[in-house]
Structure 1
Amino acid sequence: MSVLPSRQGLSGAEVLDRRESAGGEVVLRRRGGHCEVIVNGCFLMDTVDGRSERLLVRAALDELAAVARPSVLIGGLGVGFSLAHAAAEPRWARIAVAEREAAIIDWHRTGPLGAFSAGALDDPRVEVLHTDLVEYLAGPGERYDALCLDIDNGPDWTVGAENDRLYGPTGLASAAARLNSGGVLAVWSAQPSAAFEQALREAGFTGVRTEEIVVERGVPDVVHLARRA
């Protein structure tokens, strides 16, 4: 990766790399031994606590207990907690991960985030798709038994307005079309959303429920779960 000279910001965070992309500026910072990703000046994710990202994958797999060797699409790569958790589970037969930011993929392959994805990108079951998830789901392609989506901060709190499409009727229809019959949609969110639960039902999903993870800031992270009928 193209590493910038280390420098401390007013926030006490050390800038490791900064890239310009189609979606704007993407910055990797280190703070107190942890990494964090900032997009267009807004905090997006960090490596402090990956419990809810792991729950995203674990809950989807639990819902697929009757499927011997399921497949999963993870969107996006982020700091790697979801992918590493999936790769550690031998039941997954195929693991695809969609990430639109080339910088984030680079930071996993050759940079500091590789410590958190724990070599998962080298797993023969794993395919990294450098693509925009919303566009990928809307296009033609193969189906999966599970979609585990961790895009932006969730349905009610997006940094990039273009990500709003994923959580509306068109995006949910695209997600359903990419699921096998009985397949599971798992969606990470930085806060609970009753409106998104209703949107899932209106899109034809069944078994809609929400699992919460208590975090230090007070509002729990959640995973919304639903099935394609």
Structure 2
Amino acid sequence: MIPWTVLDTAPLPDGSGTLRLKQRGSEFSIMLGSNELMNSRLSGSEEALAKLVCDRLGPRPGLKMLIGGLGMGFTLRAALACLPTDATAEVAELIPAVVTWARGPMEALFAGSLDDPRVVLNVADVAAVIGAGKQRYDAILLDVDNGPEGLTVAGNDQLYAARGLHEAKAALRPGGIMAVWSSGPDHGFTRRLRGAGFAVEEVTVRARRTGGGARHVIWLARAP
């Protein structure tokens, strides 16, 4: 068995912990403490986050998508595969080191996606980006925690609370969709989405692209 090598570390902006980028052969892992936030072998549900949204939105001229969390680029690459040429995929990544890793040791995983002319990459808090956008987006995709609570940064709790959900709805164009990735179900979050005025669909997807692995959950919340 090839041992893991820690390639780099990055403190969280609020000082609550440290991310570690690890490599074993061609496999990458990003860890926060004992929690593995992502692994390059498990891309299925992150890709589904974008595909499910594209399927439900259908064609829209000048479609604008906001992706919260760069990660290992799986959601971004899946989005680019289904978005039209006149679309924009805006990515908000809070931690600068994740962008550095994407252009450095994990460059092969991104397969040139960061250089796609449709991509706008910002080092920014996605909550602030959402709050500043009024009917700006056709879709908002969130994969910044392991579920609808602030794991990576405690301040992310606001994204999933009633106020954050109302701000997300305000940032969406009519009929737009907010999609949220989670490692498991959360019935309270489903209720909060409905309470904020969204029409909610909850989809179970598998971690592996081939259909195996853990069962993850994606909420698809459509604005009026």
**Which residue of 2 is the match for residue 185 of structure 1?**
178
1:80–1:113 contact (8 Å) kept in structure 2? no
The alignment's TM-score, normalised by the length of structure 2, stands at 0.88
Q: How many residues align?
A: 217
- Alignment deviations for residues 63-109 of structure 1 (CA, whole Å, 9 cap, x no partner): 11152442100011011100111122342611100001100001112
Q: 2:215 aligns with which of 197, 203, 220?
A: 220
2:43–2:74 contact (8 Å) kept in structure 1? yes
Task: Give how far 1:40 is off.
Answer: 4.8
- Tell me, which stretches of 5 or more residues in structure 2 are unaligned? none
- Tell me, which stretches of 5 or more residues in structure 1 are unaligned? 1-10
- Give the % identical residues: 38
Distance 1:108 1:215, change over 3 A: closer
Counterpart of 1:49 in 2: which secondary structure? coil
Distance 1:38 1:23, change over 3 A: farther
What are the equivalent positions in structure 2 for 1:12-161 lying under 5 Å apart?
Answer: 12-24=3-15, 25-40=18-33, 42-91=35-84, 93-109=87-103, 111-140=104-133, 143-156=136-149, 158-161=151-154
Distance 1:85 1:214, change over 3 A: closer
* Amino acid paired to 1:211: V
2:178–2:221 contact (8 Å) kept in structure 1? yes
The structure with higher relative contact order (CA 8 Å, sep 6+) is 2
1:42–1:159 contact (8 Å) kept in structure 2? no
Runs (4+) off by over 6 Å: none
The alignment's TM-score, normalised by the length of structure 1, stands at 0.86
* Amino acid paired to 1:228: A
Question: 1: distance between equivalents of 2:122 and 2:33?
Answer: 23
Q: Does 1:210 align with 2:210?
A: no
Question: 1: distance between equivalents of 2:101 and 2:57?
Answer: 32
Question: 1: distance between equivalents of 2:30 and 2:14?
Answer: 14
Counterpart of 1:95 in 2: which secondary structure? strand
Question: 2: distance between equivalents of 1:219 and 1:86?
Answer: 22
Q: 1:172 aligns with which of 162, 165, 174?
A: 165
1:64–1:70 contact (8 Å) kept in structure 2? no
Distance 1:86 1:153, change over 3 A: same
RMSD: 2.2
Task: Give how far 1:144 is off.
Answer: 0.8
Task: Give how far 1:43 is off.
Answer: 2.3
- Alignment deviations for residues 94-145 of structure 1 (CA, whole Å, 9 cap, x no partner): 1100001100001112x12222221111011100011011122223566110
Question: 2: distance between equivalents of 1:135 and 1:70?
Answer: 21
Question: 2: distance between equivalents of 1:141 and 1:169?
Answer: 17
Counterpart of 2:82 in 1: which secondary structure? coil
Distance 1:42 1:214, change over 3 A: closer
2:27–2:40 contact (8 Å) kept in structure 1? yes
Distance 1:52 1:215, change over 3 A: closer
